[in-house]
Amino acid sequence: MAPPTTLAVPTTFDDLEGDFCNKEVFVRLIHCWEARNFKKANILMGVELLLIDSKSTTIQGFISTHFLPRFKEDLKPNTIYKLNGFSIRLSKSVYRVSPHKHGISFNNKTTFTPVHEVDYQIDSQHFRIRDLQAFTDIVDKHTDLLDIIGFLRVINGDNLDTQTPMATAPAPAGERSKDMVFLHVQLEDGETARVYLWDKIAAVFRSRWNDSKTKPSVILLTTLNSKTLGGVVTLSSTASTRLFFDSDIIDTEKLLSRFEADGKIPPTVNSSSAAVTKVETVTLKEIHKFLENESPQVANFICTATITDVMEEYGWYFISCTACKSQLERDSES
């Protein structure tokens, strides 16, 4: 009698070793986004992937432009795939969206085949939600891109009005939009995170905000980069950033329900301590007048101008328009 056939146990990301995997891994595609080189004419380098396996372990994947035509049409987030024949590499040292020690790359032997959802139990999401201290610990290092969840407190951006049509649409593929939205997000521990949303995710936020009859209270933002701006730790969106509101996913629903169950009124942008403002054009004279006002005030100013000079004596990051340069020189002489 022949011995019973032993069914192979599917490989998981923690089983990976060596430089190549020729075994099957069943995964769910959580998210995918374009990887572009903004220093070289915004050229497309490939597509980044965030994948999760049956043990809820995530890994970051990459498909270069050379192999992208084979897989582009099959890249559908929240779909489960049978993955085989891929290269194994060390995880990225910068802009990591997964804590796994390995990353993977597709090659000419890779197969990535959709399978029936009902046959597999794989989580649909995985977040790395952290407090503000975690972002402070890695500020300006550009290593891990972490997630936050909290209550919307301040929204500062243009065209944030349900009665006003969007002035801008998401930028075409390969182009960077000029959208920006600035947020104050109150985290569960009471700390407030200052968040800048740029480009496509800013346009998504604006569109969803304008389309919402009941304005959302809770927001979850993924893969934010921690930077120092004006001496303060701020969080900036990246190409991989996603956003979720009140009832979008279980995580945001739970936070909102928990506060309501405790008899607390979650702070929203409609409360007296919050504000929805619009960006207005002001002159340098008006900014100086604002700064000289004795009454405490808070505002964000964005300079839109043509770059005329880069003054190295003030640091490589100092870029000024003519009027700002003249004012700076006068201040330095006084």
Domain ranges of the chain: 13-119, 132-277, 284-333
pLDDT by residue for the chain (334 residues), tens only, comes to 544 444 445 689 999 999 999 999 999 999 999 999 888 888 999 999 999 999 999 999 999 999 999 999 989 999 999 999 999 999 999 999 999 999 999 999 999 999 988 788 899 999 999 999 999 999 999 999 999 999 998 898 766 653 333 334 445 554 555 578 999 999 988 899 999 999 899 999 999 998 988 889 999 999 999 999 878 899 999 999 999 999 999 999 999 888 777 766 555 553 333 344 444 556 667 666 666 665 555 555 555 666 666 666 554 444 555 555 444 445 444 4
Tell me which residue of 117, 334, 320, 128 sits closest to 226, measured CA to CA. Answer: 128
Predicted pLDDT of residue 11: 87
Q: What's the rounded Cα separation, in Å, for the pair 306 and 319? A: 10
**Residue 211 CB burial class (10 angstroms; 0-12, 13-18, ≥19):** exposed
Tell me which residue of 139, 35, 134 sits closest to 92, measured CA to CA. Answer: 35
Predicted pLDDT of residue 261: 74
Q: What is the per-residue burial (b if ≥16 Cβ within 10 Å, else e) of 235-267?
A: bbbbbbbbbbbbebeebbeebbeebeeeeeebb
Q: What's the rounded Cα separation, in Å, for the pair 52 and 58? A: 4
- Measured from the Cβ of residue 136, the count of other Cβ atoms closer than 10 Å reads 12
CA atoms lying within 13 Å on the CB side of residue 213:
0
Question: Do the Cβ atoms of 193 and 148 come closer than 8 Å?
Answer: yes
Q: What's the rounded Cα separation, in Å, for the pair 21 and 248? A: 35
Question: Do the Cβ atoms of 269 and 62 come closer than 8 Å?
Answer: no
Give Cα 164 to chain centroid, integer Å: 26
Fold of 132-277: OB fold (Dihydrolipoamide Acetyltransferase, E2P) (2.40.50)
Fold of 13-119: OB fold (Dihydrolipoamide Acetyltransferase, E2P) (2.40.50)
Q: How many residues does the chain have?
A: 334
Predicted pLDDT of residue 231: 84
pTM of the model: 0.76
